[in-house]
Amino acid sequence: MRRFHYKAKEKSTGKTIKGIIQAENEKVAGHVLVEQGYIPESIREEGVGLLGGRGHVATKSRIMFTRQLSTLIGAGLPLAASLRTVVEQTEDKAMRSVGEDIIASVESGKSLYESFAAHPEVFDKVYTSLIQAGEASGTLDNALKRLADQEEKDAAMLSKIKGALVYPAIILVVIIAVLAFMMIMVVPEVQKLYADMGEELPELTQMLVNVSNFFADFWWLVAILLGAAVSGIYYFIKNTPAGRKTMDTIKLHVPMFGGLFRKLYVSRFARTAEMLLATGVPMLKSIEIAIAATSNTIVESEYSKSLDTIKSGKPLSEALTGLNYMLPLVPQMASIGEQSGKIDEMLGRSAAVYEEELDTQINNISTMIEPILMVAMAGVIGIVVGGTLLPIYSLVNAVAT
């Protein structure tokens, strides 16, 4: 059941009233209001903005929701009471709205898995599959704890990757700002100085003047083209299969970052498979969901070849051997796990190895990028300085002699 804010008029008095009503959807809510003797003027789902959509649920809010629910269920509190307590403590409006939907669904007789699965925009297949397995095995609190732990690790890893890109972004902004200042403020003055002296501009300086004049005269065209290009590329990547495939291919092969992304996908696959198997999800379904959890179409396509091998009755270690983008430690550890009966634990250990390597590699990349960017910035600024200050010194020397 969802909650809807409504504004309606009483048929008998014409009085306008506002309130909240619970219903399956907006249409049902409207019918209920009509049956109660009201004329609906507006019906809006709680948490939904003017542009539509319930609102984005922050990863931090989902992690906190999951961990608190795990703690309360583990303490022996009934499921409905646990959910209500967590929702009451949730400050994120979007997460609270989702939580209230889950409470209404559970109280109507649906399972927790069905209630969570009704919100795929918030809870992915990994999440709902672990909920389903936890319910079936009676280990729901442990399943939720595993989810919270893993989401915290994923969030920390993504934060480190983004952090590694912050410094390059700052340097790029500085380079652009310096170039803009030189081209707008300095280059025109140099041109004016040479014109007053009746001297011909050096070739490098003339090139800078031409560029400066072009941006001064056609800045609007540059802004339109740049905006169109950025919007077009964003749409291509986000909304077309070909665009996503192109971006996923670039991630796997881009210099310096290609190896990092490969380890990220492998560790994500192994860690997800470990969680699912440890919670009791069947092997084939666990691997299928773990493949989807990599979130890279190229990797998914390659890893999916293992499913046919598993279906034929062969072990996981053999199914993963020889796959492109699958690093060798995972099938090796899977083989050890198959022999010892602890395949989930071995997959977890292989994920831990690659997660540690990722930490080291991210730090190394940050260290390597700094001197490269400094050299690039020095080179660009050197060209501009050479085209502006050196001609001025030449004029001063010419006047002096």
214 pLDDT more than 60:
yes
Which contiguous run of DSSP H or E holds residue 312? none
- Cα 153 to Cα 298: distance, rounded to the nearest angstrom: 24
Residue with the larger pLDDT of the pair 136 and 340: 340
CB 8 within 8 A of CB 38: yes
Q: Tell me, which fold does domain 149-401 have in CATH?
A: Receptor-associated Protein (1.20.81)
Map residue 9 onto helix, strand or coil. strand
CB 148 within 8 A of CB 67: yes
Give the pLDDT score at 18.
77
Nearest to 2 by CA among 100, 69, 88, 92: 100
Q: What is the DSSP letter of 52?
A: S
Give the pLDDT score at 3.
66
Model pLDDT for residues 43-58, shown as the tens digit of each residue:
777 655 444 455 688 8
Average pLDDT estimate for 163-191: 78
Model pLDDT for residues 55-76, shown as the tens digit of each residue:
688 888 899 999 999 999 988 8
Give the pLDDT score at 50.
43
Map residue 330 onto helix, strand or coil. helix
25 pLDDT more than 80:
no
Give the pLDDT score at 5.
77
Confidence of residue 399 (pLDDT cuts 50, 70, 90): low
Q: Which residues, 6 or more positions from 311, have their beta carbon under 8 angstroms from its beta carbon?
A: 284
Phi, psi of 40 (to 5 degrees): -65, 135
Average pLDDT estimate for 90-106: 86
Give the pLDDT score at 2.
63
Q: Of 102-111, 131-140, 214-223, 312-321, give the range with the top mean pLDDT.
A: 312-321
Average pLDDT estimate for 157-166: 77
Give the pLDDT score at 232.
93
Give the pLDDT score at 54.
53
CATH superfamily of 59-148: Type II secretion system (T2SS), domain F (1.20.81.30)
CB 62 within 8 A of CB 98: no
Give the pLDDT score at 230.
92
Name the average pLDDT for the chain.
83
Residue with the larger pLDDT of the pair 249 and 12: 249
Give the pLDDT score at 51.
42
299 pLDDT more than 60:
yes
Nearest to 351 by CA among 297, 272, 288: 272
Give the pLDDT score at 316.
93
Of 104-108, 130-134, 182-186, the range with the lowest mean pLDDT is 182-186
Kindly state the percentage of the chain with pLDDT values over 70: 93
Beta strands in 265-331, from DSSP E residues, in sequence order? none
Q: What token pair was written down for 265? A: 């996908």
Model pLDDT for residues 317-354, shown as the tens digit of each residue:
999 998 999 999 999 999 999 999 899 999 999 999 99
Q: Which residues of 246-274 are buried (b: 16+ CB within 10 A; e: fewer)?
A: bbbeebbeeeebebbbbbbbbbbbbbbbb
Q: Structural domain boundaries of the chain?
A: 2-45, 59-148, 149-401
CATH fold match for the domains 59-148 and 149-401: yes
- Integer-rounded Cα Rg, in Å, for the chain is 30
Residue with the larger pLDDT of the pair 336 and 173: 336
Give the pLDDT score at 315.
92
Confidence of residue 314 (pLDDT cuts 50, 70, 90): very high
400 pLDDT more than 70:
no
Kindly state the percentage of the chain with pLDDT values over 90: 24
Residue with the larger pLDDT of the pair 12 and 318: 318
Average pLDDT estimate for 135-142: 84
